[in-house]
Structure 1
Amino acid sequence: MKVYVCPACGLVYDEAAGLPEHGIPAGTPWAQVPASWRCPECNVGKQDFVPMDR
């Protein structure tokens, strides 16, 4: 599973963990997160998140 990070605020989206508190269940691949989804911390669009090396 991959990890993505918001370049503006540093919020981490880990596919294994999801963001259940924001409606994205654990195990949700990034490709299945809706294109309209925005960072819950700073409102940056999904398209701006970048892959992060573990």
Structure 2
Amino acid sequence: MNTWICLICGWVYDEAKGLPEEGIAPGTKWEDVPPNWVCPECGARKEDFEMTQL
């Protein structure tokens, strides 16, 4: 499982945790997050995230 950081605001998507409040189950890989999903903090698109090591 990887983590992805928003390059705009620094919010982190953790594949292990998912985002259940937005319908993204724990264990959902980044590539399986819907393409129209946006950062819950700033509205950035998936293209504005990069994989990170926390």
Q: TM-score under structure 1 normalisation?
A: 0.90
**Structure 2 residue aligned with 1:31:** 31
**Structure 1 residue aligned with 2:42:** 42
**Structure 1 residue aligned with 2:6:** 6
Give the number of aligned pairs. 54
Q: TM-score under structure 2 normalisation?
A: 0.90
Query: Identity over the aligned pairs, expressed in percent?
Result: 52
* Cα RMSD (Å): 0.9
Choose between structure 1 and 2: higher strand proportion. 2
Q: Which runs of 5+ in 2 are unaligned?
A: none
**In 1, distance between residues paired with 2:12 and 2:4?**
6
What displacement does 1:48 show? 1.1
What displacement does 1:15 show? 0.4
Q: Which runs of 5+ in 1 are unaligned?
A: none
